[in-house]
Amino acid sequence: MIITVASFKGGVGKTTTAIHLAAFLQGQAETLLVDADPNRSALGWASRGDLPFKVMDEWEAGQDVSYNVNPDGNMVIDTQARPIPEDLSALAETCDLLVLPTTPDILALDALVLTVEYLKKIRASHYRILITSIPPKPSRAGEEVKALLRDANLPVFEQGIRRFSAFQKAALQGLPVYSIKDPRAESGWQDYEKVGEEILAIVGARSLTAKTAAPPAIPDFF
């Protein structure tokens, strides 16, 4: 299974999402996280601590024989912010699900609109929007943005990711959020677990309706 995380805007939790989806999928099968972002944020995260899965750049991943010979393995791709249309098209065509993280603010939503408009042009439908950095109650920003997206008939994850300082601590320590000492660390991890379960259900449902389709290929730039 190949899951790609993409956004037309930085600072929306793209790398945090890639790290924690890879951690979840590692619990299902051997998982590789490909850091295709020129900033190498995922590789930097991994270098500061210990992650339970491999992290490689796109060039190393292209030579990773252990993944290529394991059809049951998973790959999560952390892309560069604001990918050019050609790259976004290639990524959409070669993954099982495109995850589009967005924070519940107007600037991030404006960037999300650009992404969705392009995906519509290339008739890509296997994507889901993930609302991240949801502020705590009494704010209703997360619920309001989810309702707005659904009113626009856009696919959005039922589960969102709440804003916890535990994620920043995890990045600094180079660990998944569940491994750090913070009173909200477990809650942060549970959010991503629920998103991971949604992904398994979405991809599983698509597989049932396309049993004769060939498995997605690794993007050409690997």
Per the domain annotation, does 40 fall within a domain?
Answer: yes
- Written as one letter, the residue type at 57 is D
Cβ neighbourhood burial of 86 (10 Å; 0-12, 13-18, 19+): exposed
Mind listing the pLDDT tens digit for each residue in 23-80? 999 999 999 999 999 999 999 999 999 999 999 998 776 655 444 445 678 999 999 8
Q: What is the number of domains present in the chain?
A: 1
Range of the domain at 142: 2-209
Residues in CB range of 166: below 8 A, 6 or more apart: 177, 180, 182, 184, 185, 188
Is residue 175 within 8 Å of residue 49, measured between CB atoms?
A: yes
The CA-based diameter of the chain, rounded to the nearest angstrom, is 50
Residues in CB range of 73: below 8 A, 6 or more apart: 29, 30, 31, 32, 67
Here the CATH number for the domain that contains residue 65 is 3.40.50.300
Per the domain annotation, does 159 fall within a domain?
Answer: yes
Per the domain annotation, does 217 fall within a domain?
Answer: no
Is residue 34 within 8 Å of residue 106, measured between CB atoms?
A: no
Which of 8-22, 122-136, 152-166, 200-214 is least confident? Answer: 200-214
Per the domain annotation, does 50 fall within a domain?
Answer: yes
- pLDDT at position 214, please? 52
Per the domain annotation, does 215 fall within a domain?
Answer: no
Per the domain annotation, does 222 fall within a domain?
Answer: no
Per the domain annotation, does 90 fall within a domain?
Answer: yes
Per the domain annotation, does 221 fall within a domain?
Answer: no
**pTM (2 d.p.):** 0.87
